[in-house]
């Protein structure tokens, strides 16, 4: 059992400092996402007016309440909506502001409202374009050569595929200000993969929870990793946690899981075999998909409700994918980079592994030498550029 953390909390990230990364997300990326959504479908004038209102609110206005009859209004009240209503989007916790933006965006396009736009994912065209891209074909055909390689090599390739798949985040690509750097520093800033493998020995009856992040070119390698772990007997079952509705542009929903699965099963060669492994694991219950409302909550995982906590508590290992999930795992705080990862994850109810490319200021668990080398090479750009990644594990 994890012990209580004695680490004093660091400041929660807000978006109110001009020039900071969180501020640029609220001031530039959110308006860009509204523009992208307007072009995704031929929305009617009411939807466009609602998007105009959201744009005005999130850039110059204040946080507005959800409609009185919104199905999840009580849930958002419990998550802090009353406390933050009437305040600037820039002055409340950044994690809260971002999450609420996506909830209000779905409100604007009628995602939850009975009518023709109900259930239409405004991000689906971009997710499908990514899944259909030639790069996806190339990544899938690389599996043919991999199946002849020794198993440890396959282990590593599929773990790294899932890790670096996190670079494929469609929201991230909207941001022109954070281009790649040409750093000489190693791409992996922390690597606890040995510990990860030791938690999943090939003889076991392990249960894996995988808290997914993006659809498309991140979800495909996540699914391949699950298929590989099942085939190698490293896990007996897996629970894939996804989002209950579209979120952070490209986060995976159930429709995205089905699209990814179909992409695999209809591909040539080894990819289809992985796809069929997953298909039968879903049909016989070894792979289940869960979309808990808390998956899209504006809160850190320390606040997980009891019914959700029970799942990682019972799992052999939980893999937490991506940058946003990392922020929620360690708390969305500006920790000193050398704060031990094991300390800030003591709240998590079981062994946990973070697989993440670095796309926000939040970081823990670096050794002092690594941090110094990164700063010397790139100042602070390594935190947000998506060019570095980490594998951190707490047993």
Ligand X SMILES: O=P(O)(O)OC[C@H]1O[C@](O)(CO)[C@@H](O)[C@@H]1O
Note the residues at the interface with ligand X (CB under 6 A). 25, 29, 98, 166, 169, 171, 213-214, 248, 322-324, 327, 359-360
Closer residue to ligand X in complex, CB, 200/389:
389
Shortest distance, position 359 Cβ to ligand X, whole Å: 5
Shortest distance, position 248 Cβ to ligand X, whole Å: 5
Closer residue to ligand X in complex, CB, 143/344:
344
Shortest distance, position 175 Cβ to ligand X, whole Å: 8
Shortest distance, position 279 Cβ to ligand X, whole Å: 26
Shortest distance, position 336 Cβ to ligand X, whole Å: 19
335: number of CA atoms within 13 Å, CB side? 24
Residues in contact with 26: Cβ distance below 8 Å, sequence separation at least 6, in sequence order = 15, 58, 89, 90, 94, 97, 98, 101
Shortest distance, position 236 Cβ to ligand X, whole Å: 28
Closer residue to ligand X in complex, CB, 267/324:
324
Closer residue to ligand X in complex, CB, 277/360:
360
Closer residue to ligand X in complex, CB, 214/387:
214
Please state, in angstroms and rounded to a whole number, the distance separating the CA atoms of residues 106 and 37: 10
Closer residue to ligand X in complex, CB, 207/345:
345
Closer residue to ligand X in complex, CB, 166/364:
166
Shortest distance, position 116 Cβ to ligand X, whole Å: 29
């Amino acid at each position: 059992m994890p012990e209580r953390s004695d680490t004093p909390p660091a400041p929660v990230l807000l978006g109110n400092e001009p020039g900071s990364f969180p501020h640029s997300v609220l001031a530039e990326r959110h308006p860009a996402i509204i523009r992208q959504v307007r072009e995704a479908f031929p929305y009617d004038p009411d939807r466009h007016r609602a998007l105009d209102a959201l744009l005005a609110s999130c850039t110059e206005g204040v946080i507005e309440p959800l409609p009185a009859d919104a199905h999840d209004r009580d849930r958002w009240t419990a998550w802090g909506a009353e406390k933050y209503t009437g305040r600037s989007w820039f002055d409340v916790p950044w994690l809260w502001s971002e999450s609420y933006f996506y909830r209000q965006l779905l409100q604007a396009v009628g995602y939850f409202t009975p009518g023709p736009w109900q259930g239409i994912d405004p991000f689906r065209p971009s997710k499908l374009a990514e899944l259909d891209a030639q790069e996806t074909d190339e990544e899938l055909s690389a599996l043919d050569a991999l199946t002849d390689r020794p198993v440890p090599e396959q282990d590593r390739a599929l773990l790294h595929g899932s890790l670096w798949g996190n670079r494929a985040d469609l929201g991230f690509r909207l941001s022109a200000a954070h281009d790649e750097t040409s750093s000489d520093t190693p791409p992996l800033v922390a690597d606890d993969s040995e510990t990860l493998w030791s938690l999943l020995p090939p003889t076991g009856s392990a249960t894996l929870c995988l808290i997914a992040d993006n659809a498309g070119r991140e979800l495909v390698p996540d699914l391949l990793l699950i298929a590989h772990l099942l085939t190698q007997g490293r896990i007996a079952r897996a629970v894939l946690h996804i989002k209950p509705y579209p979120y952070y542009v490209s986060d995976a929903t159930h429709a995205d899981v089905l699209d990814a699965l179909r992409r695999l099963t209809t591909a040539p060669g080894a990819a289809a075999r992985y796809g069929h492994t997953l298909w039968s694991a879903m049909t016989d219950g070894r792979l289940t998909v869960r979309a808990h409302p808390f998956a899209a909550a504006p809160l850190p995982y320390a606040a997980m409700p009891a019914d959700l906590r029970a799942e990682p508590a019972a799992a052999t290992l939980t893999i937490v994918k991506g940058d946003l999930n990392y922020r929620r795992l360690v708390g969305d705080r500006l920790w000193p980079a050398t704060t031990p990862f094991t300390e800030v994850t003591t709240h998590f109810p079981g062994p946990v592994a973070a697989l993440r490319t670095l796309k926000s200021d939040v970081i823990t668990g670096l050794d002092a030498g690594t941090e110094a080398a990164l700063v010397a090479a790139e100042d602070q750009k390594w935190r947000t550029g998506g060019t570095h990644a980490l594998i951190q594990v707490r047993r």
